[in-house]
Amino acid sequence: MAAIFLLLLSLLTFTGDVISTTTPYLSSETLFSNYDKMLDSFKIFIYPTPPITGGTIFTTTQESQFYTSLLSSPFVTEDPSQAHLFFIPFPSSLSTRNLARLIRNIRGNYPFWNRTLGADHFYLSAAGVDSSSDRNIVELKKNSIQISCFPTSSGLFIPHKDITLPPVHPFKAKSSVNNTLSFLGYMKPSGRSSSTLIEEIKKHPEFKVESEPGNRTREFIKSSRFCLFLYGDDMTWMVEAMALQCVPVVITDRPIQDLPLMDVMKWSEMAVFVSSSGGAKGLRRVLDVIELNGYEKMKESGVAATQHLAWNAEPQPHDAFHMIIYQLWLRRHTIRYARWVEQ
């Protein structure tokens, strides 16, 4: 038994620096011990849903998936005295005026808002709540945790406080990946995006650029070493790319602070972030360096991370739903005033 174990251990260390040193986590120890505590104790109180005129409360699949998963989860409590956090559901289409009224009612009718001025509250808003001079919206925006859809190109995201939902995109986990690599990079810009960089990349024979919606995406992903994304453009297939061992390259001219699971994952070890200023040549140089140094590790980290970025109709341990809940759990410590002093 011991011999087999030793053999296994040496095999593991032999086949992979991968297994011994590569993980996508900032700290896997913290994550998994904290995660278990969360499963045991995390409780969320949900305020009544405001009346909705037609349709569903949330319009994006990510939001709906999170909301329905939450409603049927063991994290919901009807006893607010048990709750660590308070969820305010409202449709994204709610006008600023009605949102202000909703918060005013919550402030007046429940004792919880005044204890932290909203800091132990959270809400879903696909694009983010816009700033306003109304006191209620100011407190919601500044203090409460906003959960938006990635990428939040609107600038309505506050780093370290807010959270993003990974895109919903069906993909098969790493079953039988046998990539025949014919391209250095594959890019699928949406019709909307146009940039000189895309034009330059198109001329490069090592890159494959395809804008037509079609069903060869998977094939191109599997035959490319890197998958190229323009930040803010269609990024729904990023997780699929990672699952298929195509390392994401995100082209962005400013630091990205809204990546999903940023509190938990080391994105710099799974994806490449480059500015567009170097053009196709600069991009090529960056990718060459990574191919020589760290490419395999990035690929493995990416594959390992996909389970945490994947949505399941029936939530599974450590999947996207649970990781969002985990990020909320990390944000549960806030100062509560013992008594709200009226001014």
Ligand X SMILES: *[C@@H]1O[C@H](CO)[C@@H](O)[C@H](O)[C@H]1NC(C)=O
Sites of contact with ligand X (CB under 6 A):
107-108, 111, 114, 178, 180, 214-215, 340, 342
Nearer Cβ to ligand X (95/175):
175
Burial class (CB in 10 A: 0-12, 13-18, 19+), 318: middle
Bridge-partner residues for 147, per DSSP? Answer: 124, 163
CB of 196 to ligand X, least distance (A): 28
Minimum distance of ligand X from residue 230's CB (angstroms)? 22
Q: Work out whether strand 85-87 and strand 224-230 pair parallel, antiparallel, or are unpaired.
A: unpaired
Nearer to ligand X, 80 or 282 (CB): 80
Q: Closer to ligand X by CB, 36 or 219: give it.
A: 219
Cβ of residue 111: shortest distance to ligand X, in angstroms?
5
Strand ranges (E), 47-107 = 76-77, 85-87
**Shortest Å distance, C-beta 218 to ligand X:** 11
Q: How far is the CB of 182 from ligand X (least distance, A)?
A: 12
Closest distance between ligand X and the C-beta of residue 177, in Å? 9
Structure tokens at 204: 């490069």
Residue 72 or 133 with smaller CB distance to ligand X: 133
Which one, 136 or 152, has the nearer CB to ligand X? Answer: 136
CA 311 – CA 303 distance, rounded (Å): 15
| Token representation of residue 46 | 């949900």
Gap between the Cα atoms of 121 and 102, Å rounded: 13
Q: Which residue, 159 or 214, has its beta carbon nearer to ligand X?
A: 214
d(CA 128, CA 226): 31
Q: Rounded to whole angstroms, how far apart are CA atoms 26 and 181? A: 30
Q: φ, ψ for residue 61 (rounded to 5)?
A: -65, -40
